[in-house]
Every structure is written in structure tokens, then in C-alpha cells.
Homo-oligomer: A and B are copies of this chain.
Amino acid sequence: MKPQSSKGTRDFDLIQVSRRNYVIELLRKAFQTFSFNPLETPSFENIETLMGKYGDEGDRLIFKILRSGDFMKSVSDKSNPKIKEIADKALRYDLTVPLARYVSQNSGKLSFPYKRYQIQPVWRADRPQKGRYREFLQCDADVVGSNSLWQEVEMIDLYSFAFQSLGISVEININNRKILAGIAEICGIENRLIEFTVVLDKIEKIGEEGIISELREKGFSLKEITKLKPAFRSFKNLNESIAFLKDWLNKSEQGRRGIEELEFVIKRVKDAGILKLNVSLARGLNYYTGCIFEVNALNVDIGSVGGGGRYDNLTAMFGLKNISGVGISFGLDRIMLCLEDLNLLPDGIIQFCDVVIIRVDESSSDDSYKIAQELRSSGVSVDYYPDIVKIKKQFDYAEKSGASHVIISESENDQDQIRVKNLITGESHLMNRKELLTYFQELKN
């Protein structure tokens, strides 16, 4: 009989909502400082807007919404209904396709480059497991409608700004699809670029030997692997890695352009010290056409807390061509874990109520409720215990609520001698009404 929330979903209470809103507000502030405007799109889209945009696996993981009314009405073969016949809407799977839909639908009205941020939940029918949910918040910033490399510079600056405001030290891995294409060209594996990068992406997990044996399994020849080996190297610093790539990819025009792009960006960002050139970084290479970013938090084993890159043709799926853009996202759940692990959540972000009014008898109720009204008028958060029950029970309630104070309302008191107890220090004082108001007003400032 006891009901359960649906698998892979979460309820958030005061503490969780407060912590999450703390992060969300800092991210909003960062987006706003970099002149991104908020956008909120509907939770569901027409099914044809989402289906076919994320590959077969994505299509499978999209939550589809049953047609209203007679859902079998449009089914042609009753024994074998097709998804699009019985479902006409689907829940947002990410924030990128809704952005593309919005930009295409409003292309005449928007001014480009169009910069928006979006912080909204998305839904995926993944198998729930530790740290993976079916409903989770995505936080994205995208700028579309310009090819300028200044936007890559700004995105990296935005990442540093945001993580600095959160107090999280990060390292930003960067790469460029053109460098990967250059490597493929130099090594003569142009038509197996994706295959190669999928393997290379695992280098931190499986090491150089692992990479070599996987490449062998995929049919790369020993000669090719020998040529590819410089891509497995790691470097002391940015300068060393750039110098090496310049030399290695000298004969590939694409490679040279990729390096130039990285140099343009590196030279201009505020904190080049946090950048690390990582040629194994691919992150859905099919999608990215220029710079690729991935942010890792230092001093904690959480994985990446953000990522993004340059893409072309965001809106081509909806017929609006040649819209290039750069998008980055922040992984809110991982950022939360990070802040908890590193103990970076400041005190005071949880707004517990300030005072619980504990009630000993009914005859003092009207007086103590007037105190509640006065305190609330001056912005103090007051909980007025509604029933006359054992004082112990009311104290327990107050302590569980996180309130810092209680006021004890009893008619034996002189009306101008109100007992106030500080639950944190344990101290207790008698105050008159005016002193009481002043005391709590000062507490709020």
C-alpha cells in the first residue's frame, strides 16, 4: 500500500533544494556576467522533434508520451502499433535539440549571435544506478550564429569564472577536431578517424598498452599503430605539447589549422594555467567540429564536471543551415558531489526558520501569535506551533526543524517578559516585546 516514487527519480527537501539552488544561482550569475540570457523550453516536444536526433540508443531512451484520448486511433496494424502512432510527444532528452528547435522556429526574431543559457531537467530511460538518474538537471550555455574563435575564449573564461565562484579548482582539457583529423591524415587513417578516437579516448583508463591491443583488435596494422604512437604521449605543459604537434602535423593543413585555433584561444584566456592539451579528448566527436573542452575537478575523484565544444549545423536538422556555435555544459549532480566531498558548501545557505514559538497554554496564544505576526512583518521566519502538546514534543520539533531559537509562550509570564531560548548556545533570556523585535532584527542583519 505504501506508495513509492518512480525508480531513478528523487525528492528534494529543504537541505537539498537549498544546496542545489546555491549552485544554480552562482551558475546563473556567471552566465549573466558573460551576457548569456536565460531560455526555458517546454518539458515535452512533438515526438518528431526529438526522435532520430540522438541515434538508435537515444531514441530508445527517450520517454514517449501516450496520445491523449483514444491512443489506438491512428494505429494502422492493431497487433503491432508503431511508437509514433500511439505517442505524439516526448520528454526533453537534452537541452541542445530544444535549443535547435527554438532557434529554427524563431530565426526571424532572434538577433545573432544568439547567446542563451538553460537550466532545466531532462529525462532519460536509463537503467537507474548509483549517481545515474532518470530525471536530472542540465545546465548549458550556447552561443550560435558566429564562427569567431573569441567564443571559445569566452567559454573557457566562463568555465574558470563559474568554478572559481564555486571554489572548485579545475583543469580544463582542450583538444580540436582538426588536430585529430590532422593525425589521421598524417598516419593515413582518414576514414577510420572515429574508430581511432573512440579507442584513444580510453587512454587514461587502459594505458598505452591497452590502446595498442584494442587498435590491433580493430584491425589497425602495426605500421599504422607505430605512426599513431605520438598521440599516446603526455606532455609536461602546453608549450611542449603545442611545439610537438606543430612539428608532427606540419604536413597536414587541417592539423596546422587545429593548432592555430588552439594557440589563438590559449593566448587569450584569463587562466591559461588551468588548460591542458589532451589529444585523446574526443567527447562525441561526430558532433564537434573545432575545439573540444572537458573540465575536471582537482583534488577529488568525481570525473568530469563539464564539457563542450564547437559544432556546426546545429539547426540543420530543422532546415536552417550554416549555424555554427559553441556550447558548454555543467554537470550539476557531479558538481554537488564535488562540493560535498571537498566541504565547499558554505554555512548559512540553508534557510532554516529563525524561531519556533512553543505554546504552553491557550490563554497566551493571542499574545504570542501577535509576536509571530510582528516578527514576520520584519522579515523573521517564524514557526508557530499549532497545538498545545507536551513541551518536550514541541522542543523536539523545534530542534528537528533546524530553528536557532524558540520563544516560550505561557500566560504566567508577565506579558512583557517573554522567554527566548537560543538553541545553539543553550542560553535563555527574558525580553520585553521591543527587545525581542530588536534582537531578531539584528539576527537577520
Q: Which residues in A have some Cβ–Cβ distance to B below 8 Å?
A: 1-6, 9-14, 16-18, 32-35, 37-46, 49, 60-61, 63-66, 68-69, 71-72, 78-81, 83, 86-87, 89, 91, 101-102, 104-106, 111, 113, 115, 121, 123, 125, 135, 143, 146-148, 150-151, 153-154, 157, 161, 268, 270, 318-319, 351, 353, 356, 365-366, 369, 373, 376, 379-384, 386-387, 396-397, 400-401
Contacts and interface: CB of A to CB of B under 8 A. Distances in A.
27 contacts: A2-B105, A2-B319, A3-B105, A3-B318, A4-B105, A5-B41, A5-B45, A5-B46, A6-B42, A6-B45, A6-B46, A6-B49, A10-B42, A12-B39, A14-B39, A17-B39, A34-B376, A34-B382, A43-B135, A44-B135, A63-B68, A64-B66, A66-B83, A113-B386, A147-B387, A157-B376, A161-B376
Contact of A39 (B11, B33, B376): B11
Contacts of A5: 41-42, 45-46, 101-102, 105
Contacts of A63: 44, 65-66, 68, 89
A49 to B, nearest CB: 5
A107 to B, nearest CB: 9
A271 to B, nearest CB: 10
- Among the interface residues A44, A64, A135, A380, which one has the most CB atoms of the partner chain B within 10 A? A44
A17 B43 contact: no
B65 A65 contact: yes
Contact of A33 (B9, B102, B379): B379
A64 B91 CA distance: 11
A270 B373 contact: yes
Contacts of A1: 318-319
A398 to B, nearest CB: 10
Given A33-B376, A33-B380, A63-B65, 15 more contacts: A3-B104, A6-B46, A14-B37, A14-B39, A17-B39, A32-B353, A33-B379, A35-B356, A35-B382, A43-B135, A64-B65, A81-B81, A111-B400, A157-B376, A161-B376
Contact of A6 (B44, B81, B161, B382): B44
Pick the most buried of A11, A49, A105: most chain B CB atoms within 10 A of its CB: A11
Given A5-B45, A5-B105, A66-B87, A37 B13 contact: yes
B35 A353 contact: yes
Given A14-B38, A105-B2, A135-B43, A151 B386 contact: yes
Contacts of A69: 60
A307 B445 CA distance: 34
Given A2-B318, A13-B39, A380-B33, A68 B125 contact: yes
Given A40-B17, A41-B11, A369-B153, A33 B382 contact: yes
Best-surrounded residue of A65, A72, A151 (most CB of chain B within 10 A): A65
B384 A150 contact: yes
A306 to B, nearest CB: 18
A148 B379 CA distance: 24
A80 B34 CA distance: 55
- Interface centre among A2, A61, A365, by most chain B C-beta atoms within 10 angstroms, is A2
